[in-house]
Amino acid sequence: MMKSLTAIITLFATCTAFQGAATEPETEYYDLVETADKAAADGKWQNAIDAIDKAMRIEPTNPSNVLLLSNKGMFEYYSGQDSLALETLSIAQRIAPASVTVLQNRAKVLTDTGRLKEALRDYAAVMALDSTLVEPLFYHTMISFQLNDAETAQADLDRMKRLFPDHQSTLLAESSVLAYSGRFLEAIPLLSRLIEKKPTAADYSTRALCYLRTDQLPEAAEDIAQGLKLDPTDGELYLLRALLNKMRFRPDDAHADALKAERYGVDSSRIKALNL
């Protein structure tokens, strides 16, 4: 979770304005924060990082620096500097151990870099700090499931259903657990509710998988087509279409879709497993 700092820090400055007019270093600090936000909005991550570093050098004791560090860590991550990002976020966490924003940012980077047990600990810490947030509970559920901790995943899911019964994340968590546990028919109605609320390529992909596994080929074909309309670069959808074409005895089409799936990031071992 990366937040725009300009508005946050400007609000902080406004709330403390009675203490006197901003000094020249303070003004430059806020200007640099705004520069970092604008650079990040344009995807110029290194420019954003440089602006943040300069701002923190100007005011090393500014209480807003922990938010700057949190955003800097995410900018480093977005620019492919995973190790540096984790180091920066860990520094921020040591400064502000109860910061939900910092913990969630670090958990995201840990998750995306495959360090799932560490990410699980950060999400658990967020859940302990703020039980009203659905996002950390969702990710705690999904990671527990990935780590084959069915008991924890189910307890998390039960909690989501109790606290956030109609939330999109609850539907997504429950349908995903059902689908990837092989309970395809049970997952389909939940996925349909998700798609009715706000369709995504990923939701169409999961429901298409369920349709394929229950031999509902026309329905799977329609979901794959709808998903590709939303995201024509989704490799999972091409992989599913390759499987669909194999089931329909269209080997040439299946092979062409397998090549597209690999082009869009699907691991070659998964494609080979289809035995096209």
Same domain flag for 10 and 63: yes
Same domain flag for 1 and 91: yes
Query: If you average pLDDT over residues 111-140, what whole number do you get?
Result: 96
Q: How much is the pLDDT for 13?
A: 47
Same domain flag for 90 and 79: yes
Q: How much is the pLDDT for 218?
A: 97
Does residue 246 sit within a domain? no
Does residue 128 sit within a domain? yes
Task: List, in sequence order, the alpha helices (H) in the chain.
Answer: 5-15, 24-41, 45-58, 65-78, 82-95, 100-112, 116-129, 134-146, 150-163, 168-179, 184-197, 201-213, 217-230, 235-247, 251-263, 268-272
Mean pLDDT of the chain: 90
Q: Is residue 12 scored above 60 in pLDDT? A: no
Q: Is residue 11 scored above 90 in pLDDT? A: no
Q: How much is the pLDDT for 3?
A: 55
Share of the chain above pLDDT 70, in %: 91
Query: If you average pLDDT over residues 92-97, what whole number do you get?
Result: 96
Both structure tokens of 139: 């990710």
Give me the domain span that covers residue 145. 97-165
User: What does pTM read for this prediction?
Assistant: 0.80
- How many structural domains are present in the chain? 2
Q: How much is the pLDDT for 26?
A: 73
Same domain flag for 89 and 106: no
Same domain flag for 79 and 37: yes
CB count in 10 Å sphere of residue 273: 10
Query: If you average pLDDT over residues 13-22, what whole number do you get?
Result: 48
Instruction: Determine the Cα–Cα distance for residues 140 and 215; give it in Å rounded to an integer.
Output: 32
Q: Which of 141, 165, 189 is the last residue of a domain?
A: 165
Instruction: Determine the Cα–Cα distance for residues 252 and 236; give it in Å rounded to an integer.
Output: 18
Same domain flag for 84 and 157: no
DSSP at 200: -
Query: If you average pLDDT over residues 71-81, what whole number do you get?
Result: 96
Tens of pLDDT, residues 203-237: 999 999 999 999 999 999 999 999 999 999 999 99
Same domain flag for 92 and 3: yes
Query: If you average pLDDT over residues 164-183, what whole number do you get?
Result: 90
Q: How much is the pLDDT for 276?
A: 80
Q: Which of 96, 111, 136 is the last residue of a domain?
A: 96
- What residues contact residue 265 under an 8 Å CB cut-off, 6+ apart? 235
Does residue 203 sit within a domain? no
Q: How much is the pLDDT for 8?
A: 45
Same domain flag for 116 and 133: yes
- The DSSP result for 88-102, as a single string, is HHHHHHHH-TT-HHH
| CATH code of the domain in which 118 resides | 1.25.40.10
Q: Is residue 118 scored above 70 in pLDDT? A: yes
Q: How much is the pLDDT for 22?
A: 54
Check: CB of residue 116 under 8 Å from CB of residue 110: yes
Q: Which of 96, 126, 155 is the last residue of a domain?
A: 96
Same domain flag for 89 and 3: yes
Q: How much is the pLDDT for 166?
A: 86
Does residue 67 sit within a domain? yes
Same domain flag for 12 and 90: yes
Does residue 32 sit within a domain? yes
User: Quick one: pLDDT band at residue 14, thresholds 50, 70, 90?
Assistant: very low
Does residue 196 sit within a domain? no
Share of the chain above pLDDT 90, in %: 82
